[in-house]
Each structure stands twice: as structure tokens, then as C-alpha cells.
Amino acid sequence: MRWIKADERGASAVVVALVLVVMMGFGALAVDVGALWWDRKQLQNGADSAALALAQSCATATGCEPDSTATWYAEQNKNDSNVTAAVTHAPSSVTVRVDTVRDHFLAPVLDSSGAFDSSAVSAAATASWGPPSKAVTLPLTTSMCWFQYQTGSSAVSPPSTTVEFAIPLKSKSGSIADGGLVCGTHSAHNETAGGFGWLAPDSGCEATIDLKDPWVATDPGGSIPNGCVIETVLNVGDTVLMPLFDAWKGTGSNAEYHVYVFAALEVTGYCFGPDNSSSPGWPACQSLTLDPKDKGQNLRGRFVEMVELKDVLEYGSPSSPPPNAGAVGVRLTQ
């Protein structure tokens, strides 16, 4: 057995003390930094939800909810509700900054100066809203006149969300003369102004519309464009963008519609042919129109006030936004 010399006594205590300091340092990283990360995650969730909630309210006709709404959402996402929220408004966006202070558990033990007793934590989110300026839509369009016949409102007033409409296929019996719309009455059955028409689709059976140059080529046939499988882009219950045109030019395969604005349509049915019709199926669905003269292919649905458009859209500038026919996008931008 080896006996400990007098000058070696207490050496193990020094080693233990050094190891404890290192362990407490790692503990501070694991506990305090972990708590900071968790706080940051909660704050970001609160900022995101608060910004989206405020933007959704600002996008409606009633206007923005009070800024205190942001504090409520931030508190609901924080375990201890120890949080403050500040709101910054812009013409078509809102930014929410959320702050809190995290008291540390182990860091103060390593430094008695108080420099590491706590840390400030913050998060921010920006949400914007507005009518779309560019979108990928169904390969069909209807006129502003038909929109007004159905809803009783102009393109700048959000329509009813409760009434179901049946939009017939636009007549292809005659050529389309160049010009803008002059809306008559529905009883006059102005085929140029009423009904829907097929647009020339891309390979995915969709039409891309850029409102900076909103003339869109038509498909001259009276049925679904070749290569389109309608179920891939249209299902009962979907809310889709419906382009509205206000002018046209050309004839036949050279005809084009001038898309003025989008309306949001909740689809309740469609009747495009024997293999492309929802319940009650073809040919019974041909009679589900408002007017006997409209019997035939049709698209049925309800115009709604708001639809989440996510990333398929770009939005008009706040200084000159496109008109709003009920399709309003709300999304996080930061």
C-alpha cells in the first residue's frame, strides 16, 4: 500500500473543484441556453400568429383589430405569459415584435457580477395582405358583367358568401369583336358579356395570368382544352381563383380576354361533359342553371370574401393595388 505524503493531501479536492466548474459551465449551456432557445421558439410562434391575426382583420372591410390583440396571441404562446408585444403598421402589412426577459439558473453562479443574471429574447414577424397581381388559376374566365348579374355587386365590393350560382359556358356561335364590356340585363342574355370561356392552359392544365400584361389567350373550342384532366385542378369544395375579364380582342384561336381582377369561388359542382361532371352527373347537370337559355355546360359555386392564397400569388403595390373582387391573400413575409 502506498501512503499519501503530507504535500499531496487535498489534491483530490482541487481536481473535484475544477471538474465542478467545468460541469457547471456545461450545465449553464445545457440549462440556460436551452431555456433561451425554448423562449425564442415560443416568441416566434406568438409573433407569427399575432401578425397573421392582425393582417387578416386589416384585410376585411371592418378594419384592423386593436394592437392589444398581438399581446393576447403572444401570451397564449408563452408558458409564463411574461411577454410584451409591439405593433408597427404599414399600408398593406403589419409587423409584430415580441420581447421577454429570461432569468438564468446556473450562469449567475459562475459570474457574481450580475452580467449573466438574465438575457433579453425577442422575435418578430411581418404579415402582408392584398388582392393578387399574379396567379396560377383554373383555365377559364368569366366576365365582370356576369359577376355583377350573379352577385348584384360591382367588382370592387365583396359579394355574398351564401348564394350558389351556376355560370354557363360562354356561347361560341359567333366571333368576338374587339371592345370593352357594356353590361346590359341578364334577361337580355348578352352572350358576349355572360358565361365562362376556356383559357389556353399550360402543361399542368392551369393558366398563368400576369396583371402587368393581363391579356390571356383563349382556347377556341367549346369543351375542356386538350390534355386537361379537370380533376387535377378542380374539385367540389375547393376555393379557387376565378379570373374576371372586362375586354376582349381578336377572333377564333387569336381571341384574347383582358383579365381585370380575380374573384374567389367556392366550387359546389361542375358540368363539362360525360367524363368531367360532378353529381348529379351528365346530362342531368346541364339543367342546373338559373335560366333555361343557359342549359348546357356550367360551373357552379359561391363567391366568397377571402381565400388563403399562400405562395401562388404576388401582390400589387400598396400605392396602386389591383381592384378587389373578394379574393384577398394574407401571408407571412418575414
Signed CA dihedral, 283, 268, 203, 325: sign only:
positive
- pLDDT digits over 276-301, tens only? 888 888 888 888 766 666 677 888 88
Angle at 230 between CA 249 and CA 219, to 5 degrees: 20
Encode pLDDT of 183-233 as tens digits: 655 554 444 445 677 787 777 777 777 766 778 887 766 677 776 777 777
CA distance 82 to 133: 41
Instruction: Kindly give, in sequence order, each residue whose CB lies less than 8 Å from that of residue 327, ignoring residues fewer than 6 positions away.
Output: 131, 132, 241, 262, 263, 264, 306, 307, 309
The helix (run of H) or strand (run of E) holding residue 220 is none
% of the chain residues with pLDDT over 90: 6
Q: Look up the pTM and report it.
A: 0.53
Q: How much is the mean pLDDT over the chain?
A: 72
For residue 188, the model assigns a pLDDT of 47
- Residue 95's pLDDT is 92
